[in-house]
Structure 1
Amino acid sequence: MSAKRAKPNLSQSQASEMVKRLFGLTPLEMRPLPSYDDQNFCVAPVEGGEYVLKIMNSEDSKNHALMEVQTYAMSFLHQNGLPVQTALPTTSGELMTLEEIDCGDGCQKYLVRLLTYLPGTTISKAPLTPQLLYETGKTAARMDKVLQEMKHPHLSILQRENFIWSLSNVILLEGYIKVLDGDPLQEVVKSIINQYKTSVIPNRSNFRKCINHGDFNDLNVLVQPDENDGYRISGILDFGDMNSGYYIHELAITIMYMMMEHPDPIEVGGPVLAGWESILPLNEVEKECLYVLVLSRFCQSLVLARYSVTLHPENAEYLMITSRKGIHILQKLWELGKEEVEKEWFQSAAQFSDRK
């Protein structure tokens, strides 16, 4: 989370030239896609098909080994039947390439990949029926279970000790909390961080370890209509936050982001939990910590979005999407309290599973 994390800003003609030169494809159409701190273009070449040109920010581009593991993980998940993008090799056979580009303020090095395009719309645009929420929980659990089987020589790089978005590092938020000065939300966030310290950290040794996607959010999950007038999951995007964590972290992240898109957010937890437990039942300690972990993810999202706006005011609208909705949901969850929320989630999950 630093100003050095320079977001690339290529012109369309620069991006088009790059696709021709690196991948031997001639773009017929190109359109920009939204992104947090990278730059993405949807590319439709004359040769057919659709792709996403992904240009990583300059800071992440320095970590070649991490990008290599992420790209490999996508391929591994794809081979195991999950709807994930894969990288197209360059004309010289590389899955990613480091390019020196001048976006208007001097040359910087950016890692570039061309990924397959996945059809569908983001789950944020679909009606979140209990069935779709169940599928979302189930897919997140399947993904982490498959990732746990993955072997790679650089796997240890996913430890990412001070990675600010890891749910293992919630206490790092204390270094950013001053962005909430004067906001009544600051006291709520401080209280949640304290609950995290007293109830999550001492129990972590009982969580089951795994590799997390780490950002299974409402803009990173794609859906398409199915034959039953509902929706099915057609894509999982953006492996930039992958890290070594715990199964319960992925579940908490999934619940939190699905709550953002639901007219009655409290109802989300049950079906997502039922879907998750159809693949990976929780142990008692994991159940006990779920509420605080969901709230902790809200805190990460709100505090870091507010901080990012101070660095990139021009990108405020995109950065604050989650934040605006999230404040109200976090306050509601906090007011209801752990006992009330857990009762709703776990009873609803049990009823949902009984109907299956």
Structure 2
Amino acid sequence: MTEFIPPVISNERVAQIVQAHYTVSHIDPSCIKLLYGYEDRNYYIKEMCTGTESCSSKEYVFKVMNQKDSKFPDFFDALSKLMFFINAEVLNCSLPVQPVDVPEGRFIISLKKSYMLETKMKKDVTYVGFLLTYVPGVPISEVECSPKFLYSIGEFVGKLSTSLQKFSHLYFEARCLCFDLKHFLDNKLLVENVTVTEDKQMLESVFKLYIEHVKPKLTSFKIGAVHNDLNCDNLLCVKGSDQNSWKLSGVIDVMDATVSHSVFDGAVCIAFLMMKDCTNPLEYTVPAVSGYLNNYSLNDEEFDCLYYLVAARLTQSYLHALNNQITQPDNLCRTKSLHKSYTVLKVLLSTPKQEVDKMWRQTLKSV
């Protein structure tokens, strides 16, 4: 909701905050950039080199948390532990930087009202911020993905799901999010925003399919921590060795992480990859599905529900983008998946599940 989004901070104030709380100096405010954030404010920062000696400038992201999450310090403890875990076990992940004026192992700082450009803040509202290392790379949403690269993306998701089954935190175990596919049915009220009868019936059919086919089988799904937002902007890549290929370089934005059913990360990633090619989404994502299934073993119930879970994630994306279009018409970042999710969902539901299952089963052990 819009009231949760933190106010804007000027570049000069961002530089002042970071230099006061971290061992980072020589920041040029004119080089600070506001990055995309769904509910938070993210500021890209590059530390300037000084003197005549050669040096490599360090890059960071200063994140100002939304009002809701700023209230829960345990959330940041869980996040920091998860980021260090992913970075050590799977792939390069942004890491929190230790402030100089808080106890070791605690990474958040409180932000004063005087830092904010907007003065509509309630007196009792406190926002928190923390500094993250910057993960270099280009979002995979901005590059052409070859079949080989798509396979490697699926491979990564499979390995991530396997590793995250070893990670747990009490905060994540108690967390309840509407974007967690375990709570997909909580999104049903948003269907009322749909005005076209045919579209409303299509979306309602996904909820019926979930109730009939997914809900009874949830207890048989494996449980673990999930990233929960493996979209194409949160997976980064760099040029491969031949300069005509890409390779994954990092994963970012674990803000929606929780403990849930591990198969959900696979379904989420497949859904977003489908939106990269709305004309042939099923054929396009076959290599990614192959990489995923060959590196993360689904039991029969999980595989049987994968089709429905991908449809559920596409439905979530569409309904929330539509709701954001109504409530925040000027915020293009929050509505960019509106048309793509609708188009791909229509293609998926028009394709018999048996055909999709067969297509996906044939990818096993094929590269």
* TM-score where L is the length of structure 2: 0.89
Q: How many residues align?
A: 347
Gaps of 5+ in 2: 50-56
- Structure 2 counterparts to residues 195-234 of structure 1, below 5 A: 195-228=209-242, 229-234=244-249
Give yes or no for the alignment of 1:45 onto 2:57.
no
Letter in 2 for 1:277: L
Provide the residue aligned with 2:65 in structure 1: 56
Displacement after TM superposition at 1:150 (Å): 2.6
Letter in 2 for 1:232: K
Gaps of 5+ in 1: none
Q: 2:203 aligns with which of 176, 189, 193?
A: 189
Letter in 2 for 1:289: C
Displacement after TM superposition at 1:7 (Å): 3.5
Letter in 2 for 1:238: D
Distance 1:240 1:161, change over 3 A: closer
Q: Distance in 1 between matches of 2:89 and 2:246?
A: 21
Displacement after TM superposition at 1:127 (Å): 1.2
Provide the residue aligned with 1:300 in structure 2: 316
Q: Distance in 1 between matches of 2:247 and 2:296?
A: 20
Letter in 2 for 1:115: L
Provide the residue aligned with 2:7 in structure 1: 8
Give yes or no for the alignment of 1:278 onto 2:289.
no
TM-superposition CA deviations, 1:136-178 (whole Å, max 9, x none): 1111122222222235xxx122135541100001111112221
Q: 1:120 aligns with which of 122, 133, 137?
A: 137
Provide the residue aligned with 2:306 in structure 1: 290
Provide the residue aligned with 1:340 in structure 2: 355
Displacement after TM superposition at 1:133 (Å): 1.3
Provide the residue aligned with 2:27 in structure 1: 27
Displacement after TM superposition at 1:200 (Å): 0.2
Q: Distance in 1 between matches of 2:133 and 2:258?
A: 23
DSSP 3-state at the match of 2:32:
strand
Distance 1:36 1:340, change over 3 A: same
TM-superposition CA deviations, 1:227-270 (whole Å, max 9, x none): 14311100101001101111211110010011111352112442
Displacement after TM superposition at 1:297 (Å): 0.2
Q: Distance in 2 between matches of 1:218 and 1:250?
A: 13
Letter in 1 for 2:224: C
DSSP 3-state at the match of 1:244:
strand
Backbone CA RMSD of aligned residues: 1.8
Give the number of the structure whose alpha-carbon radius of gyration is greater.
2
Q: Distance in 2 between matches of 1:203 and 1:161?
A: 21
Q: Distance in 2 between matches of 1:73 and 1:222?
A: 18
DSSP 3-state at the match of 1:113:
strand
Give yes or no for the alignment of 1:80 onto 2:83.
no
Provide the residue aligned with 2:283 in structure 1: 267
- Structure 2 counterparts to residues 23-172 of structure 1, below 5 A: 23-25=22-24, 26-28=26-28, 29-46=31-48, 48-92=57-101, 93=104, 94-101=106-113, 102-104=116-118, 105-106=120-121, 108-150=125-167, 155-160=169-174, 162-172=176-186
Q: Distance in 2 between matches of 1:89 and 1:162?
A: 28
